[in-house]
């Protein structure tokens, strides 16, 4: 058996996340308490009860990372460890913590800055993102190209999540047009996402520029397990690739579907989503078959996951 730890990205957050873990497991409590010390405010209060702040990118990112690592610690305490890891966008930082390459304390402080830089990069209302459901990749890419020709500006695939599910991002009017064209080409749905910016597009370059010097301050450790990166969907070859890849990640499409396929091809048969929600489990389900696919976000999901893993 080869086990994958996969980590949730932004958008999965909900008020109350992590509360059960905090109250029931000392290792989870320790993670939240350490995050509070590093950040200088209570991330647990934001996770457990402050829906408004939880929706702001600069708080969302450290909140999800903290909750994800708390879930991982609880799972590891139950004897489950990873053979490989990856995370969706923000989740890549959790994956790097899981691999040993990044210290949790440094990661949680860094993703708060990342969230701030990302939300500042594009003025409110200027950018947008749409989820295109039920259309082939090539046709989604074509819809973006046609919208750019017609309207100008930027519209590109930002997340290749799973077969038949691609998120596009760019200038508000251009992506809206691309969504309309995608529907004309046969997409079942083109859904506008509630996000603060056109993430993983060239419009986020100002955020990447601000992030790079912060990334360069990191004390990068040895990767104890392979980390598959969003940028190439391949394993990071060496520790020296981490900083430039994370800077590039902000403006590059997330190749999640390809990551899942590559992990599966490398022998992964147990995929465990750590963090809020089951979004990644849904993407895995649409991408590969015949594997164990579970999530851990509280006691109930932990018990269910452990049962399924032991049965496999």
DSSP symbol at 254: B
Helices 172-184 & 137-151, crossing angle to 10 degrees? 130
Active-site position among 89, 94, 99, 119: 89
Catalytic annotation present for 42: no
Please pick, among 68, 99, 196, 200, the residue that the annotation labels catalytic.
Answer: 200
Max Cα separation, the chain? 56
Three-state DSSP string of 59-118: HHHHHHHHHHHHHHHHHHHCCCCCCEEEECCCHHHHHHHHHCCCCHHHHHHHHHHHHHHH
Cα-flanking dihedrals φ and ψ of residue 203, to 5°?
-65, -15
Tokens matching residue 303: 């018990």
CA-to-CA distance for 191 and 280, rounded, in angstroms? 18
Select from 193, 211, 263, 265 the least CA-distant residue to 93.
211
Distance CA 253, CA 194 (A): 18
Sign of CA dihedral 88, 89, 94, 98: positive
Cα separation, 180 vs 140, whole angstroms:
11
Which residue in the block uniquely carries the two structure tokens 């450290």?
A: 62
Q: Give the Cα-Cα-Cα angle 40, 222, 11 (nearest 5 degrees).
A: 50
258 is catalytic: no
Beta strands in 117-227 (DSSP E): 127-133, 155-162, 165-171, 189-192
Cβ count within 10 A of residue 237? 12
Cα gap 37→247, rounded to integer Å: 26
Just list the catalytic residues: 89, 200
């Amino acid at each position: 058996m080869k086990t994958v730890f996969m980590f949730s990205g932004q958008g999965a957050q909900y008020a109350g996340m992590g509360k059960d873990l905090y109250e029931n497991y000392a290792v989870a409590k320790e993670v939240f308490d350490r995050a509070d010390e590093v950040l200088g405010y209570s991330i647990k209060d934001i996770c457990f009860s402050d829906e408004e702040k939880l929706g702001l990118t600069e708080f969302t990112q450290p909140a999800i990372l903290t909750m994800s690592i708390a879930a991982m610690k609880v799972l590891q305490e139950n004897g489950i460890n990873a053979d490989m890891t990856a995370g969706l966008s923000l989740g890549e930082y959790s994956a790097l913590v899981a691999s040993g390459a990044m210290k949790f304390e440094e990661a949680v402080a860094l993703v708060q800055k990342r969230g701030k830089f990302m939300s500042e990069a594009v003025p409110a209302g200027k950018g947008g993102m749409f989820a295109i459901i039920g259309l082939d990749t090539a046709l989604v890419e074509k819809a973006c190209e046609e919208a750019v020709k017609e309207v100008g500006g930027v519209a590109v695939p930002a997340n290749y999540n799973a077969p038949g599910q691609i998120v596009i991002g760019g200038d508000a009017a251009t992506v809206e047009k691309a969504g309309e064209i995608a529907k004309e080409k046969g997409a079942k749905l083109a859904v506008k996402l509630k996000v603060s910016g056109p993430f993983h597009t060239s419009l986020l370059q100002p955020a990447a520029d601000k992030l790079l010097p912060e990334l360069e301050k990191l004390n990068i450790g040895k990767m104890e397990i392979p980390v598959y990166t969003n940028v190439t969907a391949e394993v990071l070859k060496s520790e020296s690739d981490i900083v430039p890849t994370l800077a590039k990640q902000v403006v590059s499409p997330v190749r999640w579907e390809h990551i899942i396929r590559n992990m599966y091809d490398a022998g992964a048969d147990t995929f465990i989503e750590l963090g809020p929600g089951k979004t990644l489990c849904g993407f895995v389900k649409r991408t590969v078959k015949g594997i164990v696919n579970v999530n851990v976000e509280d006691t109930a999901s932990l018990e269910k996951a452990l049962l399924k893993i032991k049965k496999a």
